[in-house]
Homo-oligomer: A and B are copies of this chain.
Amino acid sequence: MTSSDETSAGAPAPRRQARGQRRIEEILGAAAQVFVRDGYDAATTNAVAKEAGISPGSLYQYFRNKDEIAHGLAERFAAGLAELQAAAFDGVDPLSLTLEELVRRVIDPVVAFNVAHPAFKTLFARTDPPPGLAEATAPLDASIHERAARLVAARAPHLAPDDAQRVSVVATQIVRATMPLVVAASGDERERMAAEARAALVAYLRAATG
Q: How far is the CB of A171 from chain B (nearest CB, A)?
A: 9
Q: How far is the CB of A198 from chain B (nearest CB, A)?
A: 10
Q: Are B180 and A197 in contact (CB under 8 A)?
A: no
Interface stretch (choices A62-70, A118-126, A140-148): A118-126
Q: How large is the interface on A (under 10, 10 to 19, 20 to 34, 35 or more residues)?
A: 20 to 34
With a CB–CB cut-off of 8 A, which chain B residues contact A130?
39, 41-42
Tallying the copies of this chain within the complex gives 2
- Does A115 sit within 8 A of B, measured CB to CB? no
Give Cα A167 to B167, complex, Å.
22
Q: Are A199 and B192 in contact (CB under 8 A)?
A: no
Q: Are B177 and A177 in contact (CB under 8 A)?
A: yes
With a CB–CB cut-off of 8 A, which chain B residues contact A206?
203
A-side interface residues toward B, CB under 8 Å?
A: 39, 41-42, 121-122, 125-128, 130, 166-167, 169-170, 173-174, 176-178, 180-181, 192-193, 196-197, 199-200, 202-204, 206-208
Q: How far is the CB of A172 from chain B (nearest CB, A)?
A: 10
Give Cα A170 to B169, complex, Å.
18
With a CB–CB cut-off of 8 A, which chain B residues contact A41?
41-42, 130
